[in-house]
Amino acid sequence: MDGAATVLVVDDSRTKRYLLVNWLTRAGFIVLEAETGGEALSRVGVDPIDLVVLDVRLPDLSGFEVCERIKAAHPALPVIHVSAHAIDTTDRTQGLTRGADAYLAEPIEPDELVATAQSVLRYYQARRRAELLAERLTGLADTTVAVHAAPNFARLLEVAAAGAAEIFKSPAAVVAETFDGDCLAGVCAGPDAEARVVPWIVDDTGVPTGATVSVQEPAHWSLVDWPAGDKVTVAAARLREDRAPLYVVVPTATQTARTPVLVQLAQAVASAVEAQRSFDEEHRIAVTLQRSLLPRSVPQISGLDLAVRYEPASAQTEVGGDFYELVMLDGHLLLAIGDVAGHSLHAATIMAELRHAVRAYAVEGHQPGEILHRVNELMRTLLPSELATICVLLLEPTTGHVRLASAGHLPPLIVQDGKAEYVHHVAPLLGVRAPRPADLEFVLPAGSTIVFYTDGLIERRDATIDDGLVALASCAAQVDDDLDRFCERLVVELAPDEIQDDVAVVALRRR
């Protein structure tokens, strides 16, 4: 037993109660007393009682009924019946059937009482440990799933801290380092409290690879108000020598021998943190690659205003293959916008190949339809499993004459005098062998604005693409004097707060 167990002796006979109390006290138990069943019921659940020794015949309630009520409210509290009267099989059977764990009848030997009490307590302590471990393992499984499903690093730490607080029914803190090297702590004041993330600094010197557990002073981890008079147990999990360790901190009083659940929790959260770090690293590389492959500046062209807005997918989403091109070639503006199917670093690299192919064929002097034909043949030869949409425009700035060809891309929008109208040019996607229509030719009126965009701007899971097109036309009907502000407004008003796909917007106004 961990410390002296507390026994409640319930008997209306002062002499008999004195004997029972005396025997149990000499055996090392802490003993409380009650004379009636009502008094016993009022003390159970209030006083820290580990075992009840209960007389069968009490002045107010039957001992059987008292036992039944105790077991209904506290199934894990053991009860031993004692009887000073001759009993038959019926009495013993009724006592055990209604919840008692043992039944002793006079003459009761002191050694027999003590041995029975110790035996019953050993069983219930083992049962409580098993139930506690099962409950904590269930919480560990739930927390493991939750941390691996967390959408970002901060949320991961919040979920981990809340899970630790729920598992150990205590305050908890989880400390880890982000991919950028910032040290953050998820803290939770208790199982019913809301977790939060705060900055924190830890000295990782000497923490080995693997899992280690240590007992430390609470002052070293003053993240929450730890229970008074207790220390904290810190589990550190370091998966790789070149990675900072992860720490899970809980009150020491919550821990059992060898701290198995705490160690497993630290390792599970460390694994989720490593996965999140790797994702953040890949996403950062991909976004950097995307931006490096897009035009570095917008050309300055007499008679035209140009503006671009590009927003990569959110940090918890894989990058896509959206791209645009703006360049002057032989007195004409080449404008292209496209989207490679898929979301991955691979899609971003395909995007770069297509953009450079469009530029190369445009430099050779080909018109938009021929550019797309040649890019399509290139894709079918070198990238046979890839698909992409694209819209290419050649504009003569002084006259406003436009030649436009599309390959399955969303239609550009022309806005003039508060009226918005889509320019439709239906054609198959790149990567598909099919006849392509002739180029669309028209004059962009002076004072009008043409808007090109990718599907991330208007697509929603809860709306159709037609709804998105209507929303864009309504939002773009009034063009801001500042085209940069206009593009920004389109993204702010139309794109979701958590961008799930890359968004590219290119606006061209003919003055």
User: What pLDDT does residue 312 have?
Assistant: 76
Q: Is the pTM of this model over 0.85?
A: no
Query: Which fold is adopted by the domain 294-510?
Result: Phosphatase 2c; domain 1 (3.60.40)
d(CA 4, CA 50): 10
For residue 373, the surrounding DSSP H or E stretch is: helix 368-382
Q: Are strands 6-10 and 51-55 parallel, antiparallel or unpaired?
A: parallel
Mean pLDDT along residues 436-443: 96
Cβ(403)–Cβ(441) below 8 Å: yes
User: What pLDDT does residue 122 have?
Assistant: 93
E strand spans, 423-464: 440-443, 449-453
> 3-state DSSP: the chain helix, strand, coil percent, rounded to 5?
40, 25, 35
For residue 392, the surrounding DSSP H or E stretch is: strand 388-396
Helix (H, G, I), strand (E, B) or coil at 118: helix
pLDDT of 92 above 90:
no
User: What pLDDT does residue 94 have?
Assistant: 83
Task: Find which of 10-19, 77-86, 343-352 is predicted with most confidence, using mean pLDDT.
Answer: 10-19
Please choose, from the candidates 338, 386, 389, 369, the residue with its C-alpha nearest in 3D space to the C-alpha of residue 437.
369
Task: For 246-290, write each residue's pLDDT tens digit.
Answer: 999 999 999 988 889 999 999 999 999 999 888 877 777 766 776
Mean pLDDT along residues 61-77: 93
CATH number belonging to domain 150-276: 3.30.450
For residue 134, the surrounding DSSP H or E stretch is: helix 110-149
pLDDT of 413 above 50:
yes
CA dist 197 → 156, 160, 216, 495 (Å): 10, 11, 22, 28
Tokens encoding 381: 């030869």
Q: Kindly indicate the confidence band of residue 440, based on its pLDDT and cuts at 50, 70 and 90.
A: very high
User: What pLDDT does residue 1 have?
Assistant: 44
E strand spans, 70-136: 79-83, 102-105
Helix (H, G, I), strand (E, B) or coil at 37: helix
User: What pLDDT does residue 339 have?
Assistant: 92
Give percent of the chain with pLDDT exceeding 70. 94
Task: For 128-145, write each residue's pLDDT tens digit.
Answer: 888 889 999 999 999 999
User: What pLDDT does residue 320 have?
Assistant: 66
CA dist 500 → 318, 344, 475, 486, 503 (Å): 8, 13, 21, 22, 9
Mean pLDDT along residues 86-93: 71
User: What pLDDT does residue 295 have?
Assistant: 77
Give percent of the chain with pLDDT exceeding 90. 75
d(CA 301, CA 315): 35
For residue 73, the surrounding DSSP H or E stretch is: helix 63-73
Mean pLDDT along residues 16-22: 94
Residue appearing with tokens 């497993």: 264
pLDDT of 86 above 60:
no
Please choose, from the candidates 437, 511, 399, 423, the residue with its C-alpha nearest in 3D space to the C-alpha of residue 473.
423
d(CA 105, CA 100): 13
Tell me which of 3.40.630.30, 1.20.120.1200, 3.40.50.2300, 3.90.1150.10 is the CATH number of domain 6-129.
3.40.50.2300
DSSP per-residue string spanning 159-187: HHHHHHHHHHTS-EEEEEE-TTS-EEEEE
d(CA 204, CA 236): 10
- DSSP class of residue 223 equals T
pLDDT of 335 above 60:
yes
User: What pLDDT does residue 258 have?
Assistant: 84
Helix (H, G, I), strand (E, B) or coil at 310: strand
- Domain borders along the chain are 6-129, 150-276, 294-510
pLDDT of 179 above 90:
no
pLDDT of 318 above 60:
no
Cβ(51)–Cβ(122) below 8 Å: no
229-243, 314-328, 341-355, 370-384: segment of lowest average pLDDT: 314-328
User: What pLDDT does residue 123 have?
Assistant: 93
User: What pLDDT does residue 76 have?
Assistant: 87
Mean pLDDT along residues 455-469: 89
Q: Kindly indicate the confidence band of residue 52, based on its pLDDT and cuts at 50, 70 and 90.
A: very high
502 or 409: whose pLDDT is higher? 409
pLDDT of 222 above 60:
yes
Average pLDDT, the chain: 91
End-to-end CA distance of the chain: 89
Mean pLDDT along residues 486-502: 84
d(CA 461, CA 471): 15
Task: For 354-404, write each residue's pLDDT tens digit.
Answer: 999 999 999 999 999 999 999 999 999 999 999 999 999 999 999 999 999
User: What pLDDT does residue 129 have?
Assistant: 86
Q: Are strands 210-216 and 419-422 parallel, antiparallel or unpaired?
A: unpaired
Mean pLDDT along residues 227-233: 96
User: What pLDDT does residue 280 have?
Assistant: 78
Tokens encoding 372: 């797309």
